[in-house]
Structure 1
Amino acid sequence: MTLDSRFAPGDTEPRLYAGWENAGSFACHPDSNAPPFTIMIPPPNVTGSLHMGHALTFTVQDVLVRWRRMQGRDALWQPGSDHAGIATQMVVERLLDAEGKDRRTVGREAFVDRVWQWKAESGGTITTQLRRLGASLDWPRERFTMDAGLSAAVKETFVKLFNEGLIYRDRRLVNWDPKLQTAISDLEVENRELKGSLWHIRYPIEADPGKFIIVATTRPETMLGDTAIAVHPDHPTLSALIGQHAILPLVGRSIPIIGDAYADPEKGTGAVKITPAHDFNDFEVGRRHDLAMPSVLDRQANVTLAEIEPLLQSRPKVADPRFVRSLAGQSRFAARAAIVAELERLDLLDKIEPHTNQVPHGDRGGVPVEPLLTTQWYCNAEALAKPAIEAVQTGKTVFVPKQWENTFFAWMREIQPWCISRQLWWGHRIPAWYGPDGTVFVAKDQDAAAAQARNHYGRDETLTQDEDVLDTWFSSGLWPFSTLGWPDRTKELERYYPGDVLVTGFDIIFFWVARMMMLGLHMMGDVPFRTVYIHGLVRDERGQKMSKSRGNVIDPLDLIDSYGADALRFTICALTGPGRDVKLSPSRVEGYRGFITKLWNAARFCELNGVRPEPGFDPTTARLPLSRWLLVEANTTIGEATTALEAYRFDDYAAAGYRFVWNTFCDWFLEFAKPLLSPAANPADAAEIRAVAAHVLGLILRLLHPAIPFVTEELWDRFEYGEACSLIGTAWPDPTPVPDAAEARAELDWVVRLIGLVRSVRTEMNVPPSKPSPLLLQGASDEKLGRVDRWNEAIRRLARASDVRLLTGEVPQGSAQAVLDEITIVLPLQDLIDISAERNRLLKDRDKLIGEANKLRQKLANADFVNRAPEPVVSENRERLETMNFEIGRLQAALDRLG
């Protein structure tokens, strides 16, 4: 075995991953007696490709799974993908469009077949990319939310909930995408800030000609469907109008002026028009006051007059039915312009103000969504939410970090009926059939529905299946148990449900986590997971959200190509703390690639110095202080790493491994060991150092394997610690007893602190590394002098000391001083640097920084800046001030050393 000069991830990673996969290293073992550990993958969209959010969540999951496997747990990391109704249908519709076809011309059956064809050819992109990341998923168990088993689970759940009255049909407002022609969920709506206008419209008071109530609106095109005007009951002037009626301009109908707390006296004119069929808040007001709810926009967002035609009245100076009828079929925006012009002509437009507001858009269709009153299928989420709330309150499921429980409670306690139907062709078609009179029959299949119809009608009738499909979140809400074979009682279901931990982002706590909790508790009688670990978002290095429009999107595959999967994974671990977003940049990944290189070079050094695993080596037999010190430090690191992973502190886990490898093992142990590995060293000492180095290198590879699986497996294999690709199944290390641990630790820690302090002083004073200086000790005890004597060669070599001795007499002129415990360390620098120039440099640098820090402190003390500036900018300034304060302290310490 000869290690290459550099670790080559591009060549190594595919080979090792194939080795693990072929060996079945990722497989769970349902017949095992080992305690199970289950993580359910948040199923990525079948249309998706790996992005930084995926890289974060899958790295964290893989770290947990690899660690638990090494602890002896029977780990199931369930893979799979979501059929992603809208996204997938759009992909295939675009393909058809390129061929000059339309889904309606090819028909539903042929279209669905085409989607399955696309899925077979192109739907596995992200699973290939997850392999590149090193994700150790149990691939033979891969599931798809539209496969036969999950489809059976969906039908079973729908029928059960319907029979229990928890699924029903209702006419309510939904988010309607006029482009995609379907209802969409809140998750599929994004608010965009747009500059528009606020139109102030005069509504004549019916009983008091010549008087008006003025209403401000951003949507004059919906006023055709107004059925009331609301004012706050406590409004100082407008409340007197409550109970009267106003004339609806253009339409001419009389509408009531009602009192409702929804009308904000401080906002707009204090009066709001109520259009129940086209605004979610207005819909609730309409229900409270039993208002009519006519729709004036159709599913294409064009004006429709079908429900208001009987209401049109001709009133001079207020309404002309001919004008309203001319709007029929116009788009909402064309109608808006025409209505504003007509209001102006009728002198009913009081004023127009510039106005910036948040306009909801469909994230797929890209056009403004419409609140639309339609008949849809709903699930009684309020009833299902109560057990889920109780489960979190009682600790059956805990959130990490705990504060996300408050978000969960806030959403769940205000939960609305869940619209579960979508006007798509790709998805789980709703298992409901309609008889000739509209009676609905819900069943798992058409034969069962026909039997219900026969019983109802007393004869066979032709049934028509509902055209809609189910919301994607309905099937993904069953994921924790449908993937395990439910509704059959499989051994996998009995063993791996509930899962141990769910890893996901906070943005889908409500949309996915809550639905899994509700459906899992109702269908299985138990929570779907014991812990929900919520990670932050991946942002750019300035803390801004990544987006194509900003041009700051980072492709994880580009990072893997440039630096290797291990470097990306370790960076993610190092930056992932509780409740904290990950600020990522290619330079951070490049920096942590240096850590991978450091480990590789340390292994090469060990190899060149004859370090090989010693079968049967017993660490408790170590006699050299250096050996015992390293073993003690290794024990500490094992404890820190284990504690960190148990607490989901991935940053602390990475930091513990980083410190031990870079500092303890590489910078100190291997440097201290060099003389003991030389040909002139005592053979017994050299043999022990080699055995300890091999033992600890093996510990390092095991400790770091969950985070950086490729480089650790490669070194494990090359050093022949075990069979090829066997590290993944090797036991997680446990601390081992170390004889005389306290004595060895005290001695080596002191030597390390001494060398580190001398190095720090030399750096502060700009002493060139090529110029050694004497190292004088004042006030050292015999014990400390004994340590200096035993480690004299290492101290001189690593501290750049020409000699090390006890100071007798006065401190030499032009010396820098530092204190280590009771000892004063003196470095004579008179002949090495210009003391006066160095003092002036330090003063100048310190004073410049003090000035800059004072300016920054004043800036941060300005409440106007703190409140108005983006949070990432404020955060960045605070971090800069903290760095400046640290540097000022360092410069002052250097000045103090010069006296």
Structure 2
Amino acid sequence: MEKTFSPGDIETRWYKEWEAKGYFAPRGGDGYFSIAIPPPNVTGSLHMGHGFQQAIMDALVRYHRMRGQDTLWQVGTDHAGIATQMVVERQLQDQGTSRVALGRDAFVEKVWEWKAESGGNITRQLRRLGASTDWSRERFTMDPGLSRAVQKVFIDLYEEGLIYRGQRLVNWDPKFHTAISDLEVVQEEEKGFLWHFRYPLSDGSGHVVVATTRPETMLGDAAVAVSPEDSRYQHLLGKTVTLPIVNREIPIIADEYVDPEFGSGCVKITPAHDFNDYAVGQRHNLPMINVFTPDAAINHEAPAPYRGLDRFEAREKIISEFDARGLLEKVDDHTLKVPRGDRSGVVIEPYLTPQWYVDAKKMAGPAIAAVESGDIEFVPKQWENTYFAWMRDIQDWCISRQLWWGHRIPAWYDDAGNVYVGEDEPAVREQYSLSPTVGLHQDEDVLDTWFSSALWTFSTLGWPEQHAELSRFHPTSVLVTGFDIIFFWVARMIMMSLHFLGEAPFKAVYVHGLVRDGDGQKMSKSKGNVIDPIDLIDGISLDDLIAKRTSSMMQPQLARKIEKQTRRHFPDGITGYGTDALRFTFYSLASTGRDIRFDIGRMEGFRNFCNKLWNAARYVLMNCEGHRSDPNVAIELTLADRWILSRLQQTTTEFDRAITQYRLDRASQVLYDFIWNEYCDWYLELSKPVLWDDNSDPAILAGTRQTLVQVLETILRLLHPLMPFITEEIWQSVAPLAGIDGETVMLQPWPAVNDAQIEPDAETEIGWLKGLIGALRTIRAEANLAPGKELDVVIRNGDNEDQIRLDRHLPLLKKLAKVTSVKLLSATDDPPPALSALCGALEVLVPMEGVIDLDLELGRIDKELARQRSEAERIEKKLANGSFVDKAPAQVVDKERAKLDSAREALESLTAQRKRIEQLR
């Protein structure tokens, strides 16, 4: 092994070998474990959420593979209809042409060309993260096999009456001219206005005032609604108002949707341009008047002066017209949520248009029952409530998109508008007995990408063909996903799998939280707090990091703000920490269901953990290589050997329990504590007196060397699912010493717990020894004594068992704690003036005469007391400032309070130290 751990070279080299040798493929075994990767967009690049999710899945897959199960991690990417079309359209624009100029077929060919050349970035990054997916089975949602599955599902559901075409309100993107899902709509809080308009009563007896944030939609108003409980307007029910500008009479109606506290208590109802209004319109049989074009300009339904105007131009013209007529009562400042397309950035419009729908209500019943019965388990369980709430109030699912890239809807129309669904035009003509003279044209729309991804767990395994993999690996064992797509993806997969296979798509749904920055803020480009996992792995300079986070398209003020933030948080850029340190950081934060605050400081600690393991392995190799035990000499284990073997069994049990409960945070903590604190910090130290003593008993020496290697090799297997690269590199050197012949640690059997090696007595006695040494180290630290200074020690409150242990372990105490003598006082003996610390019931005393300069130590403590008092006073003054507490972010205030608590604790400890020393003078 090299002297220092260098993750970059190791990680690249080992991943290439693993993949080349086919280690990730299923290999048979006792039972199976399978996961289908949530398919990332083919246009995508790895972000922190991806990194977190893939790390969790890889840990589970590697763990079950080592447990001897037939393991499949099915990998693939999603064709990402709108995102991919946007990327290619931008390329065409740069080339001076367009999608329309090329025509549909040529444009789709361009997209496939782009996919072949540039669509593999995300899969390269998954490899860099160490994902042990079966790349030989990589799938794409537009693959021929998956396309056949999509087509069959559409046709079957249509023939069963579960898919239909209808005109309803959808989220409409005026830039891309397509319906989009709720998940593709970003609700942004913006400052705007609330306009109060007067609508004259048709009988001339007065007017009502309505308030609106979207004046342009009044051109399509179909009614004015009031609350049925609002006594102010009961006398107006049944009357009409004359809609200004349009001069159309519309009724005044009562509906429970209206909040009498909002505005005047009168609400304009525009069924074709608002989802809530649409529901009101349906209840009252109101006309659906669409006044927008697909570009969100005003159409022919509006009066001539407004036709062709952009919606926001029309807004200004309408406001001016109301003002000129004396019908603008007032304008209020108003903060509102504005829906914008996550890709286009433009304001999304509720838009009335014909689309294809799945009758989700009829398919929801079995999906609800599958979770109620326990066939599907949510982890954490409380996410079942979210699932049930969505499913019991489910609306029909809009599955059509007005794009060219995607699965084209298998429906054809004749000149009369009749619809025919089938595999292709010849099949349609045969199925519906259409003569060759009947003209047909295929539906221009494609299917929503969520439709094809809803089939993901079984379409990737060859369905509708009955492949062996389908019967072997389905249902998949677990789905690892974020809570934000429980409805959009999880629920729809459950519905589709139950309907077409008669079984759930997975046995469990592990719902993880979102990755936020260190202050708890959501990561976004606009905030400048996005971190690329690959940059954390490989490192990046400050200038390059700033360039990645900003762009020429940004407002200069925003770019300057992001640059300033980046320089403050990463003054030296980002040091490359390696994949293992990043993965372990993710696991340490993976408490089930909670959002995680990603702290780079943790990565520093886990890079140090890698170095600690590396150096421990070098110590073992240096002391064990070339030292073969004499087969004629019986091996004898020391108390320390028996202790570490016992703790290893306990650690394995705790790790197994944690990972099967999807508690990756506990699993990682269990290993960290055992490896760092027990194996490296304690056992290696306890082994040195045996290894470095020329007079050590050969049987004991052989036992210690065997234990060093055995425990280290087991550690590497336990740690491998979490830190695959460093464990593989070290294991290659350690395995021969352990007598193991194998190509890779990832295919070694999972450590089995040996109950015979669990020794509570050994754990108790070593715990006693550690406590005693720890007490002595505490005394040294508090008294500022040099680590090498030898000490006489006195013990109070001990018994005969303590005396036996002191006699047994005096050689270790002399070497590990630099103790010259240990005396156990009787109950009647008076203790000498000393500094003390507790070890359970024992009081550990170090007589101070001749050990320290009391005056010098008091001076040091007084100086530190003054510094801590000054710090506490500064923070107290800051927190007493109401302006700071009210205006500063909550996390900043919390940090200051934590600093104050720390300063107060330091003052308390220092004061106690000073008092003890004063008593010695």
TM over 0.5: yes
Q: Tell me the amino acid that sits aligned with residue 279 of structure 2.
A: E
CA deviation digits over 1:821-859, x for unaligned, max 9?
332111234542535446656766787788789889999
Q: For 1:616 and 1:417, how far apart are their aligned partners in 2?
A: 76
Partner of 2:8: 10
**Distance change (3 Å), C-alpha of 1:441 and 1:543:** same
Structure 1 residue ranges without an equivalent (≥5): 309-323
Matched residue type, 2:448? D
In the alignment, the residues of structure 1 paired with residue 914 and residue 750 of structure 2 have an alpha-carbon distance, to the nearest angstrom, of 48
Provide the rounded CA distance (Å) in 2 between the counterparts of 1:356 and 1:538. Answer: 28
1:28-80 superposed Cα distances (whole Å, 9 cap, x missing partner):
14xx3520101110000000111111110000000000000111111110000
1:816 aligns with 2:835: yes
Match of 1:469 in 2: 446
Match in the other structure for 1:741: 759
Residue 327 of structure 1 aligns with an amino acid whose one-letter code is: Y
Residue 58 (structure 1) aligns with: 54
Per-residue displacement from partner, 1:458-510 (whole Å, max 9, x unpaired)? Answer: 66522111000000000000000000000111111111110110001111111
Distance 1:548 1:612, change over 3 A: farther
**CA 1:622 to 1:450, structure 2 compared with 1: closer, same or farther past 3 Å?**
farther
Which stretch has the larger CA shift, 575-584 or 392-401?
A: 575-584
Could you say what secondary structure the match of 1:171 adopts?
A: strand
Q: Report the CA distance between 1:770 and its aligned residue.
A: 4.8
Please state if 1:654 is matched with 2:668: yes
Q: CA–CA distance in 1 between the matches of 2:629 and 2:126?
A: 36
Is 1:795 the counterpart of 2:772 in the alignment? no
Q: 1:880 to 1:373 in 2, by over 3 A?
A: farther
The superposition leaves residues 790-843 of structure 1 with CA deviations (integer Å, 9 ceiling, x where unpaired) of: 322332343344543334743333x22222233211123454253544665676
1:49 to 45, 52, 63: 45
Aligned residue identity for 1:701: L
Instruction: Name the CA shift for 1:275/1:833 in 2 (closer, same or farther; >3 Å).
Output: farther
Contact 1:755 1:799 (8 Å CA) reproduced: yes
Alpha-carbon contact 2:645-2:757 (below 8 Å) kept: no
**Secondary structure in 1 matching 2:231:** coil
Pick the aligned partner of 1:682 from 679, 693, 697. 697
Partner of residue 435 from structure 1, selected from 414, 439, 443: 414
Counting aligned pairs with the same residue, the percent is 49
Contact 1:566 1:711 in 2 (8 A): yes
Q: Supply the distance in 2 between the matched residues of 1:614 and 1:367 (Cα, whole angstroms).
A: 73
Whether 1:702 and 2:717 are equivalent positions in the alignment is yes
Contact 1:776 1:827 in 2 (8 A): yes
Report the 3-state secondary structure (helix = DSSP H, G, I; strand = E; otherwise coil) of the residue aligned with 1:790: helix
- For 2:360, give the aligned amino acid: A
Contact 2:635-2:699 at 8 Å conserved across structures: no
Cα separation, 2, equivalents of 1:614 and 1:341: 95
Q: Does 1:693 align with 2:708?
A: yes
Q: 2:844 aligns with which of 825, 833, 837?
A: 825
1:169 match: secondary structure: strand
Q: Report whether the alignment pairs 1:666 with 2:680.
A: yes
Quote the Cα distance in structure 1 between the aligned partners of 2:389 and 2:892: 29
TM-score, scaled to structure 1: 0.92
Match of residue 79 from structure 1: 75
AA at the equivalent of 2:604: E
Alpha carbons of structure 1 residues 435 and 466: separation in structure 2 relative to 1, 3 Å: same
Cα distance in structure 1, aligned partners of 2:655 and 2:905:
28
8 Å CA contact retained: 1:539, 1:584 = yes
Counterpart of 2:495 (choices 518, 536, 556) is 518
Counterpart of 1:625 (choices 632, 639, 651) is: 639
The 2-side partners of 1:801 and 1:140 are apart by 62
Cα distance change on mapping 1:440 and 1:385 into 2, 3 Å:
same
1:149 deviates by: 0.5
2:287 to 289, 292, 308: 292
Q: Would you say 1:256 and 2:251 are equivalent positions?
A: yes
For residue 346 of structure 1, what is the amino acid of its counterpart?
A: R
The gaps in structure 2 that reach 5 residues or longer are 539-575
Q: Deviations over 1:376-396 (max 9, x none)?
A: 000111111221111111111
**Partners of 2:159 and 2:329 in 1: CA distance:** 54
Q: Does the 8 A contact of 1:843 with 1:895 survive in 2?
A: no
Deviations 1:725-775 (A, max 9, x none): 421011111122446823322211110111112212332343343544432
Task: State the alpha-carbon separation in 2 of the partners of residues 871 and 853 from structure 1.
Answer: 15
- Match of 1:38? 34
Deviation at 1:548, TM superposition (A): 1.3
Match of 1:758 in 2: 776
Aligned residue for 1:546, secondary structure, equals: coil
Partners of 2:357 and 2:238 lie apart in 1 by: 35
Give me the whole-angstrom Cα distance separating, in 2, the residues matched to 1:608 and 1:482: 53
| Residue in 2 that maps onto 1:412 | 391
- Report Cα offsets for 1:336-374 as digits up to 9, x if no partner: 001100110000000011111110000111100111000
Choose from 20, 34, 43 the match for 1:22.
20
Separation in 2, partners of 1:276, 1:86: 27
Deviation at 1:173, TM superposition (A): 0.5
Q: Residues 62 and 888 (structure 1 numbering): CA distance in 2 closer, same or farther, change over 3 Å? A: farther
Q: Distance in 2 between matches of 1:617 and 1:244?
A: 106
2:734 to 714, 719, 743: 719
State the alpha-carbon separation in 1 of the partners of residues 915 and 233 from structure 2.
73
SS at match of 1:636: helix
Cα distance in 1 for residues equivalent to 2:821 and 2:583? 44
- AA matched with 2:385: N
CA contact (8 A) 2:590 2:663 kept: yes
C-alpha distance in 1 between matches for 2:647 and 2:863 = 39
**Contact in 2 for aligned 1:612/1:694 (Cα 8 Å):** no
- The question of whether the paired residues in 2 share the 8 Å contact of 1:535 and 1:576 is answered with yes
Other structure's SS at 2:464 match = coil
Measured in 2, the distance between the counterparts of 1:236 and 1:472 equals 49
Cα offset, 1:625, TM superposition: 0.9
Q: Indicate if the aligned counterparts of 1:423 and 1:468 stay in contact, CA closer than 8 A.
A: yes
Query: What does 1:233-244 correspond to in 2, within 5 Å?
Result: 233-244=228-239
Distance in 2, matches of 1:296 and 1:513, equals 36
Partner residue of 2:330?
351
Which residue identity does 2:704 align to in structure 1? I
User: Cα deviations across residues 850-876 of structure 1 (Å, max 9, x unaligned)?
Assistant: 8789889999xx9x979x986655765
Q: Give the structure 1 partner of residue 482 of structure 2.
A: 505
Pairing 1:539–2:516 present: yes
Instruction: Give the 5 Å matches for 1:128-527.
Output: 128-209=124-205, 211-305=206-300, 307-308=301-302, 324-454=303-433, 460-527=437-504
Measured after TM superposition, the shift of residue 535 of structure 1 is 0.8
Provide the C-alpha distance between the structure 1 equivalents of 2:47 and 2:106, rounded to a whole number of angstroms. Answer: 32
Measured in 2, the distance between the counterparts of 1:163 and 1:797 equals 83
CA distance in 2, matches of 1:428, 1:613: 65
The range that moved more, 829-838 or 211-220, is 829-838
Alpha-carbon spacing, 1:392–1:46, altered in 2? closer, same or farther (3 Å) = same
Distance 2:408 2:904 in 1: 63
Aligned pairs for 1:750-789 (under 5 A) are 750-789=768-807
- Deviation of the 1:521 alpha carbon: 1.1
For the residues of structure 1 that align with 2:239 and 2:680, how far apart are their CA atoms?
Answer: 85
Q: Which amino acid counterpart does residue 114 of structure 1 have in structure 2?
A: K
Q: Is contact 2:650–2:758 with CA below 8 Å preserved after alignment?
A: no
Partner amino acid for 2:582?
A: L
Give the 3-state SS of the residue equivalent to 1:378 in structure 2. strand
Q: Call closer, same or farther: CA 1:288–1:740 in 2, change over 3 Å.
A: closer
Change (3 A) 1:784 1:429: same
Contact 1:499 1:530 in 2 (8 A): yes
Give 1:317's aligned residue.
none
Change (3 A) 1:203 1:621: farther
- Is 1:528 paired with 2:505? yes
| Equivalent pair of 1:542/1:876 in contact (CA under 8 Å) | no
Query: How many Å separate the matches in 2 of 1:614 and 1:166?
Result: 72
SS at match of 1:26: coil
Q: Deviations over 1:389-430 (max 9, x none)?
A: 111111111111111111111211221111000000000000
